[in-house]
Amino acid sequence: MKIGVVTFPGSLDDRDAQRAVRLAGGTPVALWHGDADLHGVDAVVLPGGFSYGDYLRCGAIARFAPVMGSVVEQAGRGMPVLGICNGFQVLCEAHLLPGALTRNGGLRFLNRDQELRVVNTRTAWTSDLPERITIPIKNGEGSYVADEATLDRLEGEGQVVAYYEGANPNGSLRAIAGVANARGNVVGLMPHPEHAVEDLTGPGTDGLGFFTSVLSALVP
C-alpha cells in the first residue's frame, strides 16, 4: 500500500510520517505541494510543521497548494486522509473537517507526552487503537474550536475521534484532540502519532496503530 506524505514549504514532520508508514508496513511516497499529481497513492498524510511559516493563519495558505486540489477531490471519493497538527489545521482550512485551531490556552508552545481517550475506532485511521494511548503533543495553535451546534453534532454523530485525558493541555473545546468527517475517511489530530512508533525515541509505540489501521482499511 502506498501512503503519500505531502511536503509543503515549512513542513517539519514529513520524514517522520514517512518513517511511521514504513514501520507500519506501508510504502511511503513523498508528495510535493506544487505537484497536483498524487502519484497513485492509496492514502495521504498531511504532516506537522509550519507550512508557509504559518504567518497568515495556520494552514490558510497551504490549502491553496496545487496538491490540495487533488487531496480534496480524492477525499471526496473516500480516500483516507490524515492531517496531523499543521495537517489538521490545513484540513480545517480546506473545509474537509469542521472547526478551527487557535492559539493554545496558555499562549505558549507546548511539547509533552499526552494521554488520549480514543472514542471512535470506526474511521480509516483508528480501527487498531485501544481506548487509551499516549503520544506526544507539540504545537502552539492546537486549541480546537467550533460553535456549540457543531460540537454537539460532532459528539452526537461520533465524529470526535479522541479526547485529551486528564488536564486539557491547550484549552480545546470539550477537550477534543481529533475529529473525523462523517464518512470516517478524513481524520485530523493535533497530537503526533508519528512520534510514538519506536520505544527508543517516543513514549511508546501507541502511534503505530493509526498507520496499521489505514493499511488494514485499504485491503480490498
Of 12, 36, 60, 119, the one binding other proteins (CB under 8 A) is: 12
Considering the rule CB under 8 A, would residue 195 count as an interface residue with other proteins?
yes
Report the SS3 class of residue 49: strand
DSSP string, 127-184: TT--SEEEEEEEESS-EEE--HHHHHHHHHTT-EEEEE-SS-SS--GGGEEEEE-TTS
Known active-site residue 92: no
Considering the rule CB under 8 A, would residue 168 count as an interface residue with other proteins?
yes
The three cell numbers of residue 165 are 485525558
- CA distance linking residue 119 with residue 180, whole number of Å: 11
Which of 33, 92, 93, 192 is flagged as catalytic? 192
Residue among 149 and 200 whose Cβ is closer to other proteins: 200
Considering the rule CB under 8 A, would residue 63 count as an interface residue with other proteins?
no
Which region, judged by CB under 8 A, interacts with other proteins, from 64-72, 94-102, 151-159, 199-207?
A: 199-207
Of 1, 72, 119, 198, the one binding other proteins (CB under 8 A) is: 198
Note whether 178 and 210 are within 8 A (CB): no
Which of 85, 92, 141, 195 is flagged as catalytic? 85
- CA distance linking residue 36 with residue 176, whole number of Å: 32
Shortest separation between residue 21's beta carbon and other proteins, angstroms: 12
Residue among 184 and 193 whose Cβ is closer to other proteins: 193
∠ CA 91-97-103 to the nearest 5 degrees? 65
Considering the rule CB under 8 A, would residue 144 count as an interface residue with other proteins?
no
Amino acid occupying residue 89: Q
Known active-site residue 58: no
Report the SS3 class of residue 2: strand
Residues designated as active site: 85, 192, 194
Note the residues at the interface with other proteins (CB under 8 A): 9-10, 12-13, 15-16, 19, 48-50, 52-55, 104-106, 108-112, 136, 138, 140, 166-170, 192, 194-195, 197-198, 200-202
